Structure 1
Amino acid sequence: MTVAHARTAGEWQGADLGTRTASYDERDAILYALAVGAAPDELDLVFEERLRVLPTFALTLAQWAPDALGDQGAFDVRTAVHGSQRLQVLRPLPRAGRLELAARVGEVWDKGSAAVFEVVVESDAFVATWSLFAPGCGGFGGERGPSSPKRPEAQPGLRAEVRTAPNQAALYRLLGDRHHMHIDPDAAQAAGQPRPFLHGLCTLAATTLELARSVGAHPAELVELDGRFSAPVFPGDRLGVTAWPDGRTASFEVTDGGRPVISGGRVRFG
């Protein structure tokens, strides 16, 4: 009898995760803007007649891809966490439409006791890369990968605050990421948290909105975004944003009561 070979983490590198057509309408884009903190008077984000779609909305359309890798058994979905996120915007998203998305496993880094899987989703409008930290999957002899970016030594050029809403996780999950830990107290406790916590991508998008306001850019002009998730954020928390702007580009970090929640952030507006 032949025993099936179980893939090591490194053997997932380059794996095809399939394609999908993502459809959305203006209501979806407006709901997203409200879920990440758009104000009701920002009419070009929340009013269909003036709508400019936030580029980070693309990440909700591609959320199926990292979920697909977990479903295929690459790692234990109960313990893996979202480590970081990158987004490169190639063109503005239309108010409504259909996008053809193709997903694959990019690099797989060996961190010793854990592995980091990169899931890359590509379309003609954006390229998005999830980094997923998977305990227990390391030790396969691969490269460790790049180290975390260092905090700038210069004094920050701006400080801002992001006020999350008590219902923000409940609202954001309607965009597609319905993992129970963001809504169900029992599931959150099983994941090691005292109560349901906010999606990392929601925190990242809310920060991007505030940074756009602070540097005088429109959030729909985002062309590059990168950030590493350090700790959970709970709905209702007030977050501190520290940034080092250089024109329409900025390095940034986000803290919650002095505790880092996003580190190594970088944003660029066109």
Structure 2
Amino acid sequence: MTELASTPARLVGVDLGTRVVRYDERDAILYALAVGARAVDLDLVFEDRLRVLPTFALTLAQWAPDELGALGAFDTKSALHGSQTLDVVAPLPRSGEIAMSAHVGEVWDKGRAAVYEVVVESDYFVARWSLFAPGFGGFGGERGPSVSPAPEQDPDSVGVLGTSVDQAALYRLTGDRHHIHIDPEAAASIGQPRPILQGLCTLAAATLPLADMLGAHPASLTALSGRFAAPVFPGDTSQIRAWGDAVDAQFDVATARGPILTAGRASFA
């Protein structure tokens, strides 16, 4: 652990660096397939009509939370991805390069854990990771905001999120190659009976059926947020509940085992 990381509150505002990430149409199409796009979704998987999914930005910016881990701010084997937000500034180009800068936002003290916010900014998006770090709390900081409950009334629409048994293996090719998503032994080391689906894959995959439920296009996403409540296993089928409309929708996702995404919010142009 670095001297800076030994006191979590001192990390607020710390610069995590800049990065220019290059990609091409093949990368954007592979990403769309990895989060559930089908061959008939030509504007997501065919280069002649391609619209890049906005959530692709989250794979381009994944380097930033890794940089915070490299500072020793949390144990990379036990830290959890608590929540994620994405605000779209402009549509991602089909190919090219994106310049990004990252810094540590808020740091909250949950008693038994610290929660770090990693902020990534570019000309195309602003993304925020919330990282739950067990064993790093108790430093006397503020606890931070609480989670908003789901609306009490019946949802305005209900849909289905299906995942394939090979989805985690495919999504790994977009950049998240953590062993818990492919190796049964690594999954067992964190108490899971088999490899789990990447959280960002689950969140992005949910936007496809959600957009359909709301009469929108998934590439028209302008804002997205959600909290990760439990892991998803490749092959799971989940229920999506939504309140509101395409301009401003609240949503959650659950399997038969219970909630997997809570406090969801999405907007489509």
TM-score scaled by length of structure 1:
0.97
Q: Distance in 1 between matches of 2:243 and 2:150?
A: 10
Provide the residue aligned with 2:68 in structure 1: 69
Provide the residue aligned with 1:42 in structure 2: 41
Q: Deviations over 1:203-246 (max 9, x none)?
A: 10111111111111111110000000000000000011111123
Provide the residue aligned with 1:181 in structure 2: 180
Q: Match for 1:63: what amino acid?
A: Q
Provide the residue aligned with 1:130 in structure 2: 129
After TM superposition, what 4+ stretches of structure 1 lie above 3 angstroms from structure 2?
3-6
Say if 1:6 and 1:227 are closer, same or farther in 2 by CA, change over 3 A.
Answer: closer
Q: Distance in 1 between matches of 2:33 and 2:20?
A: 24
**How far does residue 258 in structure 1 lie from its aligned partner after superposition?**
4.6
**How far does residue 67 in structure 1 lie from its aligned partner after superposition?**
1.1
Q: Distance in 2 between matches of 1:55 and 1:228?
A: 18
Residue 210 of structure 2 corresponds to residue 211 of structure 1: yes
What secondary structure is seen at the aligned counterpart in 2 of 1:212? helix
**How far does residue 71 in structure 1 lie from its aligned partner after superposition?**
1.5
Provide the residue aligned with 1:84 in structure 2: 83
> How many positions carry a matched residue from both structures?
268
Q: Is the 8 A contact 1:215 1:248 kept in 2?
A: no
Say if 1:6 and 1:100 are closer, same or farther in 2 by CA, change over 3 A.
Answer: closer
Instruction: State how 1:1-270 maps to structure 2 within 5 Å.
Output: 7-270=6-269
**How far does residue 191 in structure 1 lie from its aligned partner after superposition?**
1.5
In structure 2, stretches of 5+ residues that fail to align are none
Q: Is the 8 A contact 1:198 1:234 kept in 2?
A: yes
What secondary structure is seen at the aligned counterpart in 1 of 2:48? coil
Q: Is the 8 A contact 2:8 2:73 kept in 1?
A: yes
Say if 1:79 and 1:125 are closer, same or farther in 2 by CA, change over 3 A.
Answer: same
Say if 1:65 and 1:6 are closer, same or farther in 2 by CA, change over 3 A.
Answer: closer
Say if 1:4 and 1:31 are closer, same or farther in 2 by CA, change over 3 A.
Answer: closer
Q: Match for 2:176: what amino acid?
A: D
Q: Distance in 1 between matches of 2:222 and 2:100?
A: 18
Say if 1:18 and 1:38 are closer, same or farther in 2 by CA, change over 3 A.
Answer: same
